[in-house]
C-alpha cells in the first residue's frame, strides 16, 4: 500500500529519477511554488534506479529545465481541485510548457526519448467485454453520451468507472447505451466524459485524470474510428449534451481558497505510525513482509518564505478573478 510517486529532473542534458512511497497525494502541493522550489523538493528525496509502472505509480512529475517543460499527473479530489491546480501552475511556472500527463508514465518516458512502453508489459492495457451499469448512490466518475440514429443526443452517468474504461469497452458499448435506462442529472462535475458519434465514427474524450493507453489509437475494435481528444477541456462535450443533462457549474474560488489555506503545511509526520504498523504481528498463518521504502515518510524540501509569498500573491489574484467571474 502507499501513494507511490516518481519524479524526474532534467538539467544540462542529463536526467535524474527520484521516488517517494507516500508522495503521490502531494504532487500538486510540491509543484505549486514554481520550478526552483519543485526541483529542490524532488532532489531532497531518494534517488532511485527503477521506474514505476502505471499500476504502482499514483502520481509523477517531470521538470525539464532544458526545454522548460513540466509534465505531471496526480489524482485530485474533484474537477474544481484539478482546475484550481492548473490555474495556479499557469501563474507560477511562467514561460514553461505545463502539461497534464494524460498518458501517465508513458508521457514521461516518451519525453525522455525512451518510448511509451518502457514501463508497460505486453498486454498491459486490458480490453474486455462491454458492460454498462450505474450507481445511483454516488456521482458518476464519467458522463457518456451518444448521438442516436434520429439525431438526438442522450447522456448517461457512468457509475464509478474511470473515463478510459468506457473506451476500452469498444463499440459494443454503443449497443448497450441504445437500450440503457435514463440516469439522474448530475449534481457535481465528473472527472471526465466520452461522446460517441456513430455516423461520423468519432469518439470524443476529455478527462481531469489519466487516460493511459489512448495514445495507441485505434484501440482494438475501433479501427476506422477517429479519436477526438480534448485533454481536460469539457467545453466540446458540454456543447453537445442535451439541455436536460447539463454539466453543473462548479466554481473555482472555493478550491483556490482551500489551496491557499494549506500553504506551508508540511506533510504529516507518519514516521511513528509507519514504525508501529511495521512492528504489528501478522495474521495467523501469514508472514509479514515490510517494504523498506514504505518506512520512509515523504519529506521534501519546503519552499522558501519568498516562494511562499509569491505563491500566496498568485492565489490571491486568482481567487479575486474567480469571484468576479462567478
In the chain, the largest separation of any two C-alpha atoms, in whole Å, equals 64
Cell of 107: 508521457
Q: What is the C-alpha separation between 138 and 157, in angstroms, rounded?
A: 10
Is residue 116 domain-shared with residue 146, that is, in the same domain?
no
Cell of 104: 501517465
Is residue 116 domain-shared with residue 260, that is, in the same domain?
yes
Asked if residue 12 is part of any domain, the answer here is yes
Is residue 218 domain-shared with residue 269, that is, in the same domain?
no
Out of 212, 240, 268, a domain closes at 240
Is residue 62 domain-shared with residue 88, that is, in the same domain?
yes
Asked if residue 130 is part of any domain, the answer here is no
Check residue 133 and give its pLDDT.
Answer: 79
Asked if residue 93 is part of any domain, the answer here is yes
More confident residue, 113 or 25: 113
Domain limits at 188?
142-240
Asked if residue 78 is part of any domain, the answer here is yes
Torsion on CA atoms 107, 234, 59, 41, rounded to nearest 10: 90
Is residue 216 domain-shared with residue 117, that is, in the same domain?
no
Of 211, 258, 250, nearest in space to 85 by CA? 258
Provide the pLDDT confidence category of residue 213 given band limits of 50, 70 and 90. very high
Is residue 57 domain-shared with residue 81, that is, in the same domain?
yes
Provide the pLDDT confidence category of residue 284 given band limits of 50, 70 and 90. low
Is residue 235 domain-shared with residue 274, that is, in the same domain?
no
More confident residue, 276 or 62: 62
Is residue 60 domain-shared with residue 106, that is, in the same domain?
yes
Check residue 1 and give its pLDDT.
Answer: 43
Check whether 287 has a pLDDT greater than 70.
no
Asked if residue 137 is part of any domain, the answer here is no
Of 75, 83, 43, 46, nearest in space to 59 by CA? 75
Is residue 164 domain-shared with residue 268, that is, in the same domain?
no
Task: Put the strands of the sheet holding 59-64 in their side by side order.
Answer: 46-47, 14-20, 5-11, 59-64, 69-74, 97-100
Of 17, 18, 25, nearest in space to 1 by CA? 25
Is residue 287 domain-shared with residue 226, that is, in the same domain?
no
Check residue 295 and give its pLDDT.
Answer: 58
- DSSP letter at 180 equals P
Asked if residue 283 is part of any domain, the answer here is yes
Express each pLDDT in 221-274 by its tens digit. Answer: 999 999 999 999 999 999 999 999 999 989 999 999 999 999 877 666 555 555
Check residue 108 and give its pLDDT.
Answer: 98
N-to-C CA span, the chain: 40
Asked if residue 97 is part of any domain, the answer here is yes
**Cell 509507519 identifies what position?**
274
Out of 213, 240, 267, a domain closes at 240
Is residue 100 domain-shared with residue 11, that is, in the same domain?
yes
Express each pLDDT in 54-95 by its tens digit. Answer: 889 999 999 999 999 999 999 999 999 999 999 999 999 999
Check residue 139 and give its pLDDT.
Answer: 82
Check whether 214 has a pLDDT greater than 90.
yes
Which of 39-43, 148-152, 261-265 comes out lowest in average pLDDT?
261-265
**3-state class (DSSP) for residue 187:** coil
The total number of structural domains in the chain stands at 2
Q: What is the C-alpha separation between 143 and 241, in angstroms, rounded?
A: 10
Q: How many CA atoms lie within 13 A of 63 on its CB side?
A: 23
Rounded to the nearest angstrom, the gap between the alpha carbon of residue 279 and the centroid of all alpha carbons in its chain is 34
Helix axes 79-92, 305-325, angle to 10 degrees: 120
Is residue 21 domain-shared with residue 116, that is, in the same domain?
yes
Q: What is the pTM of this model?
A: 0.90
The residues, any chain, with a CB within 8 Å of residue 296's CB and separated by 6 or more, are 20, 21, 22, 46
Asked if residue 248 is part of any domain, the answer here is no
Amino acid at each position: 500500500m502507499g501513494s507511490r510517486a516518481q519524479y524526474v529532473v532534467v538539467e544540462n542534458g542529463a536526467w535524474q529519477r527520484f521516488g517517494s512511497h507516500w508522495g503521490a497525494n502531494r504532487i500538486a502541493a510540491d509543484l505549486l511554488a514554481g520550478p526552483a522550489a519543485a526541483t529542490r523538493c524532488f532532489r531532497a528525496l531518494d534517488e532511485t534506479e527503477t521506474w514505476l509502472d502505471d499500476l504502482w505509480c499514483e502520481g509523477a512529475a517531470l521538470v525539464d529545465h532544458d526545454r522548460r517543460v513540466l509534465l505531471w499527473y496526480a489524482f485530485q479530489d474533484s474537477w474544481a481541485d484539478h482546475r484550481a491546480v492548473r490555474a495556479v501552475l499557469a501563474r507560477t511556472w511562467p514561460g514553461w510548457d505545463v502539461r497534464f500527463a494524460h498518458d501517465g508514465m508513458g508521457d514521461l518516458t516518451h519525453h525522455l526519448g525512451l518510448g511509451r512502453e518502457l514501463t508497460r508489459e505486453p498486454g498491459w492495457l486490458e480490453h474486455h467485454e462491454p458492460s454498462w451499469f450505474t450507481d445511483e448512490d454516488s456521482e458518476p466518475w464519467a458522463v457518456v453520451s451518444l448521438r442516436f440514429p434520429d439525431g438526438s443526443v442522450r447522456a448517461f452517468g457512468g457509475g464509478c468507472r474511470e473515463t478510459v474504461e468506457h473506451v476500452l469497452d469498444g463499440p459494443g458499448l454503443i449497443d448497450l447505451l441504445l437500450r440503457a435506462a435514463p440516469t439522474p442529472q448530475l449534481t457535481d462535475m465528473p472527472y471526465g466524459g466520452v461522446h460517441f458519434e456513430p455516423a461520423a465514427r468519432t469518439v470524443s474524450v476529455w478527462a481531469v485524470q489519466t487516460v493511459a493507453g489512448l495514445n495507441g489509437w485505434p484501440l482494438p475494435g475501433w479501427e476506422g474510428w477517429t479519436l477526438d481528444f480534448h485533454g481536460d477541456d469539457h467545453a466540446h462535450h458540454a456543447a453537445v449534451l442535451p439541455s436536460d443533462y447539463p454539466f453543473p457549474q462548479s466554481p473555482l474560488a472555493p478550491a483556490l481558497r482551500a489551496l491557499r489555506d494549506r500553504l506551508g503545511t508540511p506533510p504529516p509526520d507518519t514516521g511513528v505510525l509507519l514504525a508501529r504498523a511495521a512492528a504489528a504481528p501478522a495474521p495467523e498463518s501469514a508472514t509479514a513482509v515490510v517494504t523498506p521504502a514504505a518506512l520512509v515518510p515523504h519529506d521534501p524540501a519546503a519552499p522558501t518564505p519568498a516562494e511562499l509569498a509569491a505563491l500566496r500573491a498568485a492565489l490571491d489574484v486568482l481567487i479575486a478573478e474567480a469571484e468576479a467571474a462567478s
